[in-house]
Structure 1
Amino acid sequence: MSSFFNLENPVFQLLAKVCDMLFVSIVYITLCLPIVTIGPASTALYYAVVKVIRRERGYIFKEFFRSFKLNFKRGAIIGILLTLAYIVLGFDLLYAWGLTEPDSSKGSLLMGIFLGIAFLVVSFSIYVFPILSRFDMTVKQLFKAAVYMSMRHVHFTILMIVVNVAAVVIVIFFFPFIFIAPATVALVNSFMMERIFKKYMPKSEGPGEETGKDEWYLE
């Protein structure tokens, strides 16, 4: 019985991770409300989930806000641009949908074009913030890298889109899931995203103790 209450017990470790995911998801949702902070918040969420939940390095809030501050400017710029892109796409899709009844051929053509563009934008948005959390790039370089990776690894891109859509569907039918959904999606997607990132990571120069670098992402 004493071993059950040991903090090293796998059950307690799992509960601790679930609590971390719950708390960081709530912080993430709160920081997304001002809209302009969606980008840095998404960047920080991915970084903290992978480093703390998966790699068990550091503390969830410390790593989250460290990444949030470090990547605030670039994350905010990209987040605002993506928000505008989604708004424009939303109106475009509504316009195309409205044309399907009076002119089904024209409406269907436009709908197909806009859905294709929507796929590209969604794919880009799934990659760009994790890339920002890991690589030191300019905004222009981030755009190029996100487009390239999302198309180069399109099979993983589609799977991650499915994960995001599944989370939205679950929230619609079970709203309380929203309070842990952000971290859950980041965690599930990270198993695919990290496989992709390893292809572009520089090789480790040696153990962290020798180089003085925290190379947790290379493990």
Structure 2
Amino acid sequence: MGNLFNMDNPFFQALSKLCDMLFISIAYIFLCIPIITIGPATTALYYAVVKVIRRERGYIFREFFKSFRLNFKKGAIIGIVLTFVFIILGFDLVYAWGLTEPDSSKGSLLMGVFIGITFLAVSFSIYVFPILSRFDMTVKQLFKAASYMSMRHIPYTLLMILVNALVVVIVIFVFPFIFIAPATATLINSLMMERIFKKYMPESDGPGEETGKDEWYLE
């Protein structure tokens, strides 16, 4: 019976992680409402989910808001740019769809072009905020890195897009799932994203205690 109520029991550990995912997802949703904070909030979500939920380092809200604060400026800039890009693409897709009836060939051609551009934008958006959470880069370097990685690792990119799409579908049919959906999608995608990041990580000089750096991501 003593082990049943032990906080190190696998059941309680799993329950603790589930609660962390729920709380951080709700915080993320509220922080995305002002629009301008979508970028830094998405960056912080990835950082906190990987560091705390996967690697069990630190506390979920402390790590979340630490990353949110440190990456606010760059995250906000990228988030605003992407917001405008997706709004424009949305209008373009509607326009192309409207052309398919009077002129199917022209409409279909435009639809294909805009769908291709939308795919590139979605692929880019999946990578750019996790990259920002992990690497110290300028905005220009972030754009280059996200564009390169999303195309260089296209199988993983397609899988992560599929994961995000599946999560959206689940939310549509089971709306309460929205309150844990952000962390769920991030956690699943991180299983692939972290494999990609390891290819670009510099070699460690030694354990964190020796280097003075918190190199939890190299463990």
TM-score interval w.r.t. the shorter chain? over 0.9
- 1:153 lines up with 2:144 in the alignment: no
- 1:58 CA drift (Å): 0.1
Provide structure 1 residue ranges, at least 5 long, that are not aligned to the other structure: none
- 1:81 CA drift (Å): 0.2
Match of 2:110 in 1: 110
Q: Measure the CA separation in 1 of the matches of 2:54 and 2:205.
A: 22
Match of 2:163 in 1: 163
Structure 2 residue identity aligned to 1:86: F
Count of residues in correspondence between the two structures: 219
3-state secondary structure, aligned to 2:52: helix
Match of 2:124 in 1: 124
- 1:27 CA drift (Å): 0.2
Match of 1:74 in 2: 74
Q: Measure the CA separation in 1 of the matches of 2:204 and 2:13.
A: 29
Structure 2 residue identity aligned to 1:169: V
- 1:198 CA drift (Å): 0.3
Q: Measure the CA separation in 1 of the matches of 2:213 and 2:142.
A: 23
Match of 2:89 in 1: 89
Q: Measure the CA separation in 1 of the matches of 2:214 and 2:205.
A: 11
- 1:155 CA drift (Å): 0.5
**Percent identity between the two aligned chains:** 79
- 1:193 lines up with 2:190 in the alignment: no
Provide structure 2 residue ranges, at least 5 long, that are not aligned to the other structure: none
Structure 2 residue identity aligned to 1:180: I
Match of 1:177 in 2: 177
- 1:210 CA drift (Å): 1.1
3-state secondary structure, aligned to 1:101: coil
- 1:2 CA drift (Å): 1.5
RMSD over aligned Cα atoms: 0.4
- 1:187 CA drift (Å): 0.3
Q: Measure the CA separation in 2 of the matches of 1:205 and 1:23.
A: 36
Runs of 4+ in 1 over 6 A off after TM superposition: none
After TM superposition, the structure 1 stretch with the greater mean CA deviation from structure 2, 202-211 or 53-62, is 202-211
Match of 1:18 in 2: 18
**TM-score, normalised by the number of residues in structure 2:** 1.00
- 1:34 lines up with 2:38 in the alignment: no
Q: Measure the CA separation in 1 of the matches of 2:101 and 2:4.
A: 64
Match of 2:206 in 1: 206
- 1:212 CA drift (Å): 1.2
3-state secondary structure, aligned to 1:36: coil
3-state secondary structure, aligned to 1:214: coil
Match of 1:64 in 2: 64
Match of 1:100 in 2: 100
Match of 1:6 in 2: 6
Structure 1 residue identity aligned to 2:205: E
**TM-score, normalised by the number of residues in structure 1:** 1.00
